[in-house]
Structure 1
Amino acid sequence: MSTQTPPAVRAYLSRVRTALADLPTAEVDEIVEDVRPHLLEIAEGLGEAATVESMTEQLGTPESYAAEVRATGDYPPAPTEDTATTEDTGPATAPARLAVWSLVLGAFALGLVGFALGSDLDDGVLFGLLVIVPVIGAGAWFVWAQGTSPVAQLPEIKALRDTLRTKAGPALRQLRLMAPAWWVLCAVVLALVALLLVVKSRHAIIGLPLFVAMAALALWAGPRTESDRRLLWASVPVSVFVLAVGAGLVTYLAGSIDRPSDDYPYNYTANTSYDGEPALNYGDEELDNLYVFDAEGKPLTDVYLYTADGRPLTVPRYGCEESTETRVTTGRDNKFPRPRIQQGGYDDQGNYNGYNAYRPDCAESDKVPFTAAIPD
């Protein structure tokens, strides 16, 4: 240390460093350098009477001072003798590991459900929560009863925490500053999704209590997670769910923009018939006949249809089989109009006459079933 540091401050800092010995050395050095000016100020105020004892009267013991630094700096609590003997292996770590994995796997599953929900707005996927919520709840119950100390002492958690602090420290500090706005955004997104589900299907109203509960968790548990790490088992799943739902909604909206409207009245599409052959469609309706009229409204016969590149617009032709009096496919061509197939019980205009009306089960008619009004 610097020779300009008074002995009392050096001794006090030495005990602070010992109390923080479980943290990474680089972080301990950073903490010591951060608190040194404050301790020098205290020692300067005490003058020649500056000793560890006099500084303790004003600041508390170096150990309690180190504990305050842990609390304000979001560092894990100092390990006790009990945790120090069981932190590496053994049955005592199994419940803590299960609690961690319940959070990790539960959040991952919630992400899948959230993305599926947002991308299709199908409330049926919410039934998956009947399995996911109890899994997360079991881990939450453990940390609520035992605290986060058993989890914090797991070697993998220590390694993850150290990595995040050394590699992503600035980003984490920025996220903490944005946290209040994030929790409000979570509640807004959840309310929006609930509204979209109800608009799409009235049955989705039974899922409203779930979204209300999640929004309440976001607004209540989210801001308190910084001071109570047990609430991670509520805030992390909600955050993952909202992020996944948001990503799914973006996918849903992008698909809606690219998808052609089914209500467009002049939407001819290429499709296949029930037998796998090319067919002519108008919207969702498969066409097997077309009627063509001249400018005076007179129907034309023997009209042949072609595409813009000269290909014949060939579709199935139907007729009646005499032996069975049923409709059958008689070939394929591009000649229109075709004989209209009439089924038993219907007249030439397609009106139902009842089963008592005499008509073969299948009959062909060349009559046009309507009159065309040609616009001027």
Structure 2
Amino acid sequence: MTVVTEQEIASYVGRVRAALADLPPAVRDELLEELPEHLAEVAVEGEGSLTERLGPPEAYAVELRAAAGVAAPAGGANLDQRISAVVGKGRERLRAVDTRLGPVLGYARLSEFLRLLRPAWWLLRGYLVAMLVTVMVTGEPFGLLPRLGGSTLAALLLLAATVAGSVWLGRRSATLGRRPTWVLHLSSAFLVIFGLVGFFDADSRAAQDGYGYHEVYTDQYSGVRDVYVYDSEGRLVEGVRLFDQNGEPIRLGGPWCDEARERLEPGESYVDPMQQPYPYCPQHAPFQLRGPGPSATPAAVPTSGPDPAGTPIGDPSASPSAVPTSEAPAVTPTPTS
């Protein structure tokens, strides 16, 4: 918790007084008469420095001028005063939003509820840092857990280190100076953007794999539109589905020919590649089997000539019990009941 000291209040009042140095002393003293008491009340109301809650003293001086209807110096406000005025107005609007949204969540101010979420943000920040390191080191897309060389132990150690560092920094963020605080805020904003982009990217990849198929986007297969599989006899095999070593289906290309649209159901206008086996367009196969395929030819049975025993097969004197090997005796079916 940041405690506002009397020295800080006096320093803030002094800078406001310096910003109003062009005014007559009587007018300036009147504007600053109740400022120390007001700053003391603000210091008691919540956490953070006076500059964090009220804006720079120069911007506060501009607000005092506007409230009192006192014109700015004849030369006009310099660049620092203009920037401070813009920052002051922005902070004023944020305070108004803070006050309006607080009761919706059951708190006087929204900032009070957000302070309760600081530990959760510290954990999330450490997780996002681990994911950022993983993406930068490995070049892999955003996932659910950090991966370092395929080692789960290294990933867990990285995650533990980043989360512990984020918690340590969060507990000491109140003691940081103005410039380190701004750096911390900017880095936090960057991590939030990185997390949102990674989340939507992971969601998009999960949607593409909704049917379990993996799209292949490599230089080697980037131009593949169809896959044709042939058997050992050179004949085209249709209705093929491909799987990797883990049993996950692989999907390359997509229905690209007019014939693929002929398989559409009535009322459909889109050929879903996830529902189509390979090849999508068998009519466009790069190789076609020429002529009839191989067929089995029965072995020729000689009709004459001596057998190994010396008896001519076609001799009438052959034993009548000889039955041609190509014929089997007829079997009369016997009824079972």
TM-score computed with the length of structure 2 as normaliser: 0.37
Q: Which has the larger radius of gyration?
A: 2
Q: Which has the higher strand share?
A: 1
Tell me which of the two structures has the higher relative contact order, counting C-alpha pairs closer than 8 angstroms and 6 or more residues apart: 1
